[in-house]
């Protein structure tokens, strides 16, 4: 197994310290005031005022979706890279006919009493802290997947959402797709018999990111703020803006990048609200020689208390497809479910097919599902409004149960790639106690439930 590092050895990664004791002061060391009334729905005729935090990649979709909605206005765009502002401000203004302001420090966003909600599309290592600070400041949150950078953080996000009575949606968009909901309903109704195994696929060829030397911080980039919870290190072009995914201090590899969507569907289809009791993950970083630390080939196997199995395969090099699932001409992304009477495939667009018996006779597909069947499911967010719209609907109702992916649901699905990555890093099979959210009798693995934080960017034990 290869476990390359840039500015951090494998031993240093594995020796992340435990979090501060329960006596640490609650909430943020920044003492952001809570300025919004708790638990009040936003009226149907009131404009929801938002900020988008992280506007480079996925953040552009956040801008496009929220700024294009009726009675939703983006007041502020926030990003640590000020070079992005002119283009994103113009795009937002074109969509909503009003010009947003800008900020490079999200703490300024949270101080604004006009802002009702924020959407977060930062690198993974900022997801939890940005969400927790937002809840403490009285803001509702839409946060991209994975919910967190590590398992500890995900639980703290849930605790903050509940403590401050905030609506927090995680960006597992399949929860708001008609086709995927219909597929899960078909499985629940026994469409392929008793489901005993799921297999998630993340086959997404990635290139060689190379070995660029450390360099001066580019003009307009607030690099210390970008690092946030991570320990200080020199700037490297392979961190900003995308290749942070492949460095453990900031990302979680493709198992924790594209993978969370397919993990979520696999867990959902298996009907598992609980965590698995056992995980084993192996692989490595093959072919290329670069600053990348995360594996580009990884196989993870999860076993539940009742014996059901979830397999997950991450392949970042050239590979075959499985079944005829395709997410495009150069990738295979989706889920397979296996039951006592047949099997199902779901691609990354939510389209699904079933096959039955020894001869793989074709069965029902997503194209056979009628609108009346969708209506009968009575699910918020599956009638065309989409995942972003579902978040807005829940803000107007004031009911977190209207969310298709509440933060607790997002946390449970995010646990899975984190478990696989910890097993990969320590190099062995692990037993996991889902109630305590800790590994059984394994101090080395438990150190990887969290990270060493850097003041003042700390996810505290008491939120």
Residues in the chain: 463
- Per-residue tokens: 340: 């006592």
CA distance 349 to 319: 20
Closest CA to 200 of 92, 347, 54: 347
Name 110's bridge partners: none
Residue 205 CA, chain-centre distance (Å), reads: 20
Residue 306 CA, chain-centre distance (Å), reads: 27
Q: Where are the domains of the chain?
A: 17-175+386-406, 177-377
Q: Which fold has domain 17-175+386-406?
A: Rossmann fold (3.40.50)
pLDDT score of 327: 60
Residue with tokens 């919910």: 147
- Per-residue tokens: 266: 């696999």
pTM for the whole thing?
0.90
Angstrom distances, CA of residue 445 to CA of 277, 284, 441 = 14, 18, 9
Residue 298 CA, chain-centre distance (Å), reads: 19
pLDDT score of 367: 84
Residue 167 near residue 395, CB atoms below 8 Å: yes
Closest CA to 461 of 27, 135, 149, 31: 27
| DSSP letters for 273-302 | -SPPSEEEEEEE--S--SS--S-SEEEEEE
Side-chain-side CA neighbours of residue 15 (13 Å): 5
CA distance 15 to 12: 5
Angstrom distances, CA of residue 439 to CA of 21, 66, 143, 236, 432 = 19, 40, 27, 34, 4
pLDDT score of 156: 98
**pLDDT tens-place values along the chain, 463 residues long:** 333 333 343 334 433 433 333 333 334 445 454 444 555 788 878 999 999 999 999 999 999 999 999 999 999 999 999 999 999 999 999 999 999 999 999 999 999 999 999 999 999 999 999 999 999 999 999 999 999 999 999 999 999 999 999 999 999 999 999 999 999 999 999 999 999 999 999 999 999 999 999 999 999 999 999 999 999 999 999 999 999 999 999 999 999 999 999 999 999 999 999 999 999 999 999 999 999 999 999 999 999 999 999 999 999 999 988 887 766 556 699 999 999 999 999 998 899 999 999 999 999 999 876 443 433 333 433 344 799 999 999 999 999 999 999 999 999 999 999 999 999 999 999 999 999 999 999 999 999 999 999 999 999 999 9
CA distance 381 to 247: 34
Sign of CA dihedral 51, 397, 381, 145: positive
Q: Which CATH architecture has domain 177-377?
A: 2-Layer Sandwich (3.30)
pLDDT score of 321: 85
Residue 311 near residue 327, CB atoms below 8 Å: no
- The 3-state secondary structure of 396-458, one letter per residue: HHCCHHHCCCEHHHHHHHHHHHHHHHHHHHHCCCEEEECCCCEECCCHHHHHCCCCCCECCEC
């Amino acid at each position: 197994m290869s476990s390359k590092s840039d500015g951090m050895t494998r031993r240093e990664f594995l020796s992340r310290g435990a979090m501060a004791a329960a006596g640490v002061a609650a909430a943020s060391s920044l003492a952001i005031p809570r300025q919004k009334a708790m638990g009040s729905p936003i009226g149907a005729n009131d404009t929801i005022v938002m900020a988008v935090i992280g506007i480079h990649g996925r953040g552009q979709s956040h801008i496009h979706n929220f700024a294009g909605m009726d009675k939703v206005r983006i007041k502020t765009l926030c990003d640590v890279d000020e070079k992005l502002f002119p283009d994103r401000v113009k795009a937002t203004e074109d969509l909503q006919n009003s010009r947003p302001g800008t900020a490079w420090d999200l703490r300024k966003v949270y101080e604004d009493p006009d802002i009702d909600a924020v959407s977060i599309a930062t690198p993974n290592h900022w997801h939890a802290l940005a969400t927790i600070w937002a809840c403490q400041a009285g803001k509702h949150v839409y946060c991209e997947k994975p919910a967190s950078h590590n398992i500890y953080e995900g639980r703290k996000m849930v605790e903050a959402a509940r403590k401050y009575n905030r609506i927090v949606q995680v960006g597992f968009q399949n929860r708001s797709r008609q086709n995927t909901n219909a597929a899960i309903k078909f499985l629940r109704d026994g469409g392929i018999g008793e489901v005993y195994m799921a297999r998630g696929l993340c086959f997404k060829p990635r290139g060689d990111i190379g070995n660029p030397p450390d360099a001066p911080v580019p003009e307009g980039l607030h690099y210390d703020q970008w690092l946030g919870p991570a320990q200080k290190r020199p700037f490297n072009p392979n961190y900003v803006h995308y290749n942070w995914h492949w460095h453990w201090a900031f990302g979680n590899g493709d198992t924790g990048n594209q993978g969370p969507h397919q993990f979520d569907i696999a867990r959902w289809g298996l009907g598992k609200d609980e965590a698995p009791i056992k995980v084993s993950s192996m692989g490595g970083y093959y072919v290329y020689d670069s600053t990348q630390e995360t594996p580009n080939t990884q196989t993870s196997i999860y076993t539940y208390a009742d014996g059901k199995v979830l397999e997950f395969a991450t392949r970042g090099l050239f590979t075959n497809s499985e079944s005829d699932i395709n997410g495009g001409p150069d990738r295979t992304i989706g889920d397979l479910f296996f039951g006592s009477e047949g099997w199902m495939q779901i691609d990354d667009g939510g389209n699904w097919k079933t096959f039955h018996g020894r001869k793989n006779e074709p069965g029902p597909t997503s194209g056979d599902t009628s609108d009346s069947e969708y209506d009968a499911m009575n699910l918020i967010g599956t009638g065309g409004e989409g995942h972003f719209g579902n978040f807005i609907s829940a803000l107007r109702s004031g009911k977190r149960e209207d969310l298709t992916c509440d933060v607790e649901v997002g946390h449970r699905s995010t646990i899975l790639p984190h478990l696989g990555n910890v097993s990969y890093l320590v190099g062995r099979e692990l037993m996991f106690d889902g109630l305590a959210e800790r590994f059984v009798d394994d101090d080395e693995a438990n150190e990887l439930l969290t990270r060493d934080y850097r003041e003042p960017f700390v996810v505290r034990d008491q939120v």
